[in-house]
Amino acid sequence: MLKLEGNLFRLVEFQHVKPGKGGAFVRTRLKNVETGAVLERTFRAGEKFDEVLLSHRRMQYLYPDGDDFVFMDMETFEQVTIPGDVVGDDAFFLGENLEVDVYVHEGKPISIELPSAVLLEVKEAEPWLKGDTTSGATKPVVLETGFRLQVPLFVEEGDTVKVDTRSGEYIERV
């Protein structure tokens, strides 16, 4: 996180560039924490930013509340409602009782960090026939959170699958 022009930004992507002539610089894509707007910015070596102090809290996901999500602080057992726009697409990976890291700035939750993989139950899956197999064949399924995903043909309704939260891809059946 960094503060530019009075706004808080999260670093989405960066590329360090060292041209043949001149000094090195960094190309970045920054996302405004408040508005969600994406900004592309180039920084030269030696540029300074305002320091941003974030606190980190371990929380457990409890349930959705309209467009928001309710979490429980693992230390104080206090329930905290986090707006849906802070959770974003990570909501597709929020299974019951999942523990996440919540980052707070000036008392306000600004982002969550999921574990690298989560276990979710398959709620909808088309049946498959043993003769339908081809190397690497997949089919679409719907998980308990509503997330749609491509899985191998042998995965069925009621199975639990491990999903990579960074890429949204199937890892294995559990």
- Provide the CATH number for the domain around residue 73: 2.40.50.140
Are 109 and 61 part of one and the same domain? yes
The answer to whether 86 and 111 have CB atoms below 8 angstroms apart is yes
Domain count, the chain: 3
Name the band, by pLDDT with cuts 50, 70 and 90, for residue 74. Answer: very high
Residue 6 has pLDDT above 90, yes or no: no
Q: Cα separation of 95 and 141, whole Å?
A: 16
Residue 50, SS3? strand
More confident of the two residues 68 and 20: 68
Place of tokens 């009621």: 158
Which stretches of 48-106 are assigned E, i.e. beta strand?
55-65, 68-73, 79-82, 99-105
Please give the average per-residue pLDDT across 39-54, as a whole number.
Answer: 84
Please give the average per-residue pLDDT across 141-163, as a whole number.
Answer: 93
Domain coverage including residue 103: 55-113
Name the band, by pLDDT with cuts 50, 70 and 90, for residue 111. Answer: confident
Name the band, by pLDDT with cuts 50, 70 and 90, for residue 22. Answer: confident
Are 102 and 139 part of one and the same domain? no
Are 37 and 67 part of one and the same domain? no
